[in-house]
Amino acid sequence: MPRWEPGARERLVVAAANLFAEQGYDTTTVAQIAERARVTKSTFFRYFPDKRDLLVAGQETLARLLAEGIADAPENATPLEAVAAGLDRAASSMGPMNRDLGPSLKAAIDASVELQQRDALKSVGLATAMAGALAARGVGEPTAQLAAELGVLAFKRGYAAWVAADRDDDRGLAPHVLTALADLRAATGSLR
């Protein structure tokens, strides 16, 4: 094993997602993840406290990008327009690796109650970040919370559509997420 190879964190995430999907979350060990990623166990622990944290890798960055996009939205933007700006900022930072991980992550999450709980906590964290950014813009609590929850749902639906899309579709994640938000916004009209 080489002493140092760039991209260790990303390799660990990819290795874990693939192993979780192949053999299950519970039976996958940190040693197996490290070996598949071509790093030592100590390198694994330099990046992650335990294997559960691999699922939320990048959550802090994603939450920050969502909040920054909302904060940078035009002053006269509606709450959902500000959420769209946050979604666009975050989605534009995601590339092919994020897309390729989709099927493995979905399979791993679907097969593990613990990972489902972790994924739910991730969604709560993203909604909290967006609601906080909206509140900082002066949006009231119920509206900020609702817009943030719609944003999380749009991100999930858009990501699923992106992963399922034809590989020749090179538009990236942002158009899928923004389409999902527009669909959800239209659907709210039928709630009356």
What is the model's pLDDT at position 73? Answer: 98
What's the confidence (pLDDT) of residue 5?
62
- Reference 104, options 186, 165, 16, 191; nearest CA is 16
Which DSSP letter does residue 6 get?
S
7-24 tens-digit pLDDT: 898 899 989 988 988 888
Structural contact between residues 73 and 133, judged by C-beta atoms closer than 8 angstroms? no
Question: Distance between CA atoms of 69 and 174, rounded to whole angstroms?
Answer: 13
Q: What is the pLDDT of residues 102-129, one digit of tens each?
A: 888 888 888 888 888 988 998 999 999 9
pLDDT digits (tens, 9 = 90+) for 146-167: 999 999 999 999 999 999 998 8
Alpha-carbon distance 94 to 106, whole Å?
17
d(CA 92, CA 182): 17
Confidence of residue 1 (pLDDT cuts 50, 70, 90): very low
pTM, entire model: 0.85
Domains and CATH numbers, the chain: 8-53 (1.10.10.60), 56-191 (1.10.357.10)
